[in-house]
Amino acid sequence: MKKVDLEQEGIEIKKACCYFCHQNCGVLVYVKDGKIIHFEGDPDHPTNTGGLCCRGNVNLIHLDHPARVNYPLKRKGERGAGEWERISWDQALDEIAAKLAAIRDQFGSEAVATAGGTQRTDDWARRRFMNLFGSPNGFHNSHLCWIPTFMVETAIYGWCPFEIDLGLSRCIVLWGQNPGASTMPEMSAISLLKSQGLKVIVIDPRYTETAAKADLWLPLRPGSDLALALAWLHVIIYEGLCDYTFIEENCVGFDELTLHVEQYTPEWAAPLTWLTPDQIREGARMYAMNRPGNIQWGVAVDQLGKPAGSAMHARALLRAITGNLDCPGADLLTGPSPDFITDEEMELNEYLPEEQRAKQIGSDRYKLVTWPGYSRIAELTKKYWGKAPTAEWMCEAHPPSVFKAILSQEPYPVKALLVSATNPVNSYGESKQVLEALRTVDFLVTCDYWLTPTAMLSDYVLPIAGSFERPTITSTYGCSDFLLTSQRAIQPMYERRTDFEFWRDLGLKLGQGEHWPWETLEDAYLSRIEPLGYGVESYDEFVEYYRYHFPEREYYKYKEKGGFATPSGKIELYSSTLKELGYSPLPEYIPPVENEIDNPELAEEYPLVLTTGGGVMPFHHSEHFQIKELRFLRHEPYMEINPATAAKLSIEDGDWVWIETKRGRIKQKANLTEGIRPGVVYTQRGWWYPERDMRDPELGGCLESNTNVLTSVADEDCDPLSGTWANKGLLCRVYKAYDSDRKEDN
């Protein structure tokens, strides 16, 4: 056993956090002479109370992994040839700034786009840079992750009730969420509360880690969430299970809704969802009759594609008609923090001129999470809460449209892409198109820990400081009324820098000097928490002495504030904001993007229903495939298929199989399981093989098992409200892969 003397002289214990997902679990890091000698989960941290997941445990391996990028790299040979020249940060920033300035002069600042990943960056800094630079074309794959939900719910109730008051709840609906593989602290709380009587409903096509612990598991047809939500509305309204007092006092549009959902009976939904009418009723009743209750957000609904917006809408109405809003035990409308400086306030959105806002790619079609919808919602929330949601995330260019613009020059040329903390080939939809765009774009810069397939195609790769090397403020995309803080354990190793420094330094080179007053990230953070009035001298002092700020929980804020942040001041079951943007004010039924009812010919060719995107411990999106300690546990991708379906296809457990949609095919190994319905297939996400040849065209086999080869970003498959694309409810076929055809060309 590795024995570390933690009592020795000169050890400092730093209150850092794990940076491998945005839970940001608290970690105590023992540092001596600038070197980390030990770390452990922080038992006093409210998120993880000492626990750490697989990823958390490999922090030190990640920190100094031989494959990490440690110095700024400039491409030497052909793009993708993997020949690099090590240069200084100063040179890199000078050259990148010069190139961006040249593109701005020639094509306009909107020709520079930025792509992001999960919320593990200080993307208010990116937004600040982009606003000052004058481009509206920043984006993330946030469309697949909560952001559309946030905006639909804010349109209806004036904020997103993401803070669940679980301790007093009697029922939780986990709708397309699997905390058992993704958010460990939440799962722990659910298990504890379930043992004390909490009802747990899991809506998921798969018998997940979480479904295995549920009181009720509803294995719906992938992509049919909207039909289920509409039928639940029907059951709750037509069985008289509503909270009529709450509706009477706080909602408008109940009559319209009642009429609207009359048609959506459980019998109507049964053939669409592949559930029985009784299953549908049982779920609706369990949620409506065990009050207070919660509907926990899950990414599944964000990833439905075309029916997504309507499904979020219908789901949001369930809370309203059952009164499960802002009361003890329900989903709370906390609003943004009035006390600390929010992300939005750091973004300088006012600096982006109106004419540039109008150029945001995708904002003509998908209005809710682009400038048209965002401006309207920000106006309402500012009036009511005094603050707006974070624009980075909530107001972004439509990612598939940006990749298409790179390829087609429509609506205008996009010449530069700055990529930070994402590997778009694996994480954005329709990977073949994304890869083509990355190969095509004139100027590509990647900020990353690793030489990902995307980094390999870049002109510059910049080394980014990761877990333990950076301070962190955790505040739910800048939208929570609380915050948790963590400090750096050590200064970044080698020549790594934080992404904040990258955007700031690039801004300085481009003449944004006056807008970047903070020299360090800690300085910036300090300015954000100063209004809290703790009287600290430094950010680190706040972390050491306070660590987090949780305002006293207030229920029924709407009573005191006189309503909700909507045009009518009420919860708008019939949404005037959505109507104003040109969308249906009530959730209309839209079938799954590909289905056997509307397109029987396609279903004949692709007879199985596909769901993609579910998370798999120990990976996170497309990360950690280099970490042997993790990879050893799951070294190959496994898709799930029911044994009955597999038998028909002569597929045995452990066989390599092809999974193919209209857009392409990938191979994974077959896991035969009774935990998935016959006729349904699930593929693991994120897979690439960093151990292979990373040069173009092999690029670490980044298309071979990559589930996003299968997903659809066609305009007609995207949600008209948000533009989110289709990861679930697609049609596919599966067949055995033989040795001779195991390899797919990139």
Partner 1 sequence: MKHKEEGWGWMLAVDFFFAGMGGGMLLIAGIADFLLGEGNTSVLGNFLGAFCIAIGACFLILELGRPLQAWRVFMNPRAILTFGAWTMTIAIGAGLIYASFGLKMLPWSDWVILRKLMALGCIVTGLIVATYPGVLLGRHKSRPFWNGPGMIVLFLFSSLVTGGAAHILSAAILPAYYPGGLSGLPLMVALLLGFQLIFWVGYLWVKISGTTEREAKAARKWLKGNFSGKFIYGFLLIGTLLPLVLLLFPGTGVIALGAFLALLGGLLMRLLVVYSGEDRTWLPGEECYRARLPLGTEEFLKAWNTK
Partner 2 sequence: MARYALVIDSRRCIGCHSCTVACRVHNDLPIDMIYNPVTTVGPTGVFPNVHMVHIPLLCMHCANPPCVDACPSAASQQRPDGIVWVDEKKCVGCKACVMACPYGARIPNHEKGTVQKCDFCKERIDEGLRPHCVETCHQKARIFGDLDDENSEVYKLVHGEHSIRLLKELGTDPYVFYIYGWEV
Cβ–Cβ < 8 Å for 339, 532: yes
Q: Which does 253 bind (CB under 5 to 8 A by kind): partner 1, partner 2, none?
A: none
Per CB under 8 A, 691 contacts partner 1:
yes
Which lies closer to partner 2 via its Cβ, residue 61 or residue 289?
A: 61
Q: Is 94 in the site for partner 1 (CB under 8 A)?
A: no
Whole-number minimum distance, CB 704 to partner 1, in Å?
13
CB 671, min distance to partner 2, A? 11
Return the range that interacts with partner 1 (CB under 8 A); candidates 213-221, 412-420, 474-482, 628-636: 628-636
Rule CB under 8 A: say whether 41 interacts with partner 2: yes
* Residue with token string 């909490």: 198
Least Å distance between CB 656 and partner 1? 14
- Please state, as a whole number, how many other Cβ atoms lie within 10 Å of the Cβ of residue 76: 10
What is the size of the binding site for partner 2 (CB under 8 A)?
Answer: 48
- Rounded Cα distance between 381 and 336, Å, is 9
Residue 56 corresponds to which tokens in the numbers above?
Answer: 């958390």
- Contact of 171 with 291, CB cutoff 8 Å: yes
Residue 635 contact partner, candidates partner 1, partner 2, none, CB within 5 to 8 A by sort of partner: partner 1
Q: Is 629 in the site for partner 2 (CB under 8 A)?
A: yes
CB 3, min distance to partner 2, A = 6
Interaction between residue 51 and partner 2 (CB under 8 A): yes
Tokens of 62: 């990640």
Which stretches does DSSP call E strand in 157-266?
163-164, 171-175, 199-203, 216-218, 251-252
Q: Which is nearer to partner 1, 436 or 691 (CB)?
A: 691
CA distance 343 to 657: 45
Least Cα distance to 108 among 294, 304, 355, 336 occurs for 355
CA–CA dist 508, 516 (Å, integer)? 8
* Closest of 180, 145, 295, 170 to residue 232, by C-alpha: 295
What pairing do the DSSP bridges indicate for beta strands 138-139 and 199-203?
A: unpaired
Side chain identity at residue 458, one-letter code: S
Answer for which of 553, 692, 742, 743 binds partner 1 (CB under 8 A) is 692
# of chain residues touching partner 1 (CB under 8 A): 17
Structure token pair of residue 20: 């491998």
Residue 169 binds partner 2 (CB under 8 A): no
Please name which of 613, 620, 621, 615 lies closest in space to residue 727, comparing C-alpha atoms: 613
What minimum distance in Å lies between the beta carbon of 710 and partner 2?
23
Distance from C-alpha of 145 to C-alpha of 340, rounded to nearest angstrom = 25
State how far the Cα of 644 lies from the Cα of 672, in Å rounded to an integer. 9
Nearest distance from C-beta of residue 744 to partner 1, angstroms: 17
Q: Tokens 């995207």 label which residue? A: 718
Helix (H), strand (E) counts: the chain: 28, 27
49 binds partner 2 (CB under 8 A): yes
- Residue 630 CB, nearest distance to partner 1 (Å)? 10
Binding of residue 188 to partner 2 (CB under 8 A): yes
Inter-residue contact 86 to 73 (CB < 8 Å): yes
Q: Which partner from the list partner 2, partner 1, none does 1 bind, CB cut-off 5 to 8 Å by kind?
A: partner 2
Residues 6+ apart with CB under 8 A from 143: 302, 369, 396, 398, 399, 722, 723, 724, 725
- Contact in structure between 416 and 100 (CB atoms under 8 Å): yes
Distances (CA, A) of 162 to 158, 166, 345, 476, 562: 12, 11, 20, 9, 21
Q: φ, ψ for residue 463 (rounded to 5)? A: -80, 125
Whichever of 2 and 245 has its CB closer to partner 2, that residue is 2
Residue from 213, 315, 497, 728 touching partner 2 (CB under 8 A): that is 213
Residue 695 near partner 1 by CB under 8 A: no
Candidates 183-191, 429-437, 556-564, 684-692; binding stretch for partner 1 (CB under 8 A): 684-692
Which three-class secondary structure state does DSSP give residue 553?
coil
Q: Pick between residue 482 and residue 689 the one whose CB is nearest to partner 1.
A: 689
Q: What phi and psi values does residue 685 have, to the nearest 5 degrees?
A: -100, 165
Only one of the segments 345-353, 472-480, 668-676, 688-696 lies at the binding site for partner 2 (rule: CB under 8 A); that segment is 668-676
User: For residue 637, how far is the Cα from the chain centroid?
Assistant: 22
Residue 277 contacts partner 2 per CB under 8 A: no
Among 66, 197, 535, 562, binds partner 1 (CB under 8 A): 66
Residue 66 CB, shortest distance to partner 1, in Å, is: 4
Taking the complex as a whole, the smallest distance from the CB of residue 62 to partner 1 amounts, in Å, to 12
Task: Choose one: 103-111, 182-190, 709-717, 720-728; the region binding partner 2 (CB under 8 A).
Answer: 182-190
111 binds, among partner 2, partner 1, none (CB under 5 to 8 A by kind): none
Stretch that binds partner 1, among 202-210, 570-578, 587-595, 622-630 (CB under 8 A): 622-630
Indicate which single residue of 37, 57, 74, 536 sits in contact with partner 2 (rule: CB under 8 A).
57
65 interacts with partner 1 by CB under 8 A? yes
Strand order, beta sheet including 35-41? 11-17, 26-32, 35-41
Phi then psi for 318, rounded to 5 degrees?
-60, -40
Residue whose pair of structure tokens reads 């390599």 in the numeric block: 656
Among 159, 371, 564, 625, binds partner 1 (CB under 8 A): 625
Instruction: Determine the Cα–Cα distance for residues 394 and 397; give it in Å rounded to an integer.
Output: 10
632 binds partner 1 (CB under 8 A): yes
Site string for partner 2, 219-248 (x = CB under 8 A): x-----------------------------
111: Cβ contacts below 8 Å, ≥ 6 apart: 103, 104, 135, 412, 413, 414, 415, 416
Q: List binders of partner 2 among 581-610 (CB under 8 A).
A: none
Check residue 339 for interaction with partner 1 (CB under 8 A).
Answer: no
Question: Which residues would be at the binding site for partner 1 (CB under 8 A)?
Answer: 65-67, 625-626, 628, 631-636, 654, 689-692
Question: Which residues would be at the binding site for partner 2 (CB under 8 A)?
Answer: 1-3, 25, 40-41, 48-54, 56-58, 60-61, 180-181, 184-185, 187-188, 191-192, 195, 207, 209-210, 212-213, 217, 219, 617-618, 628-630, 632-633, 642, 673-678
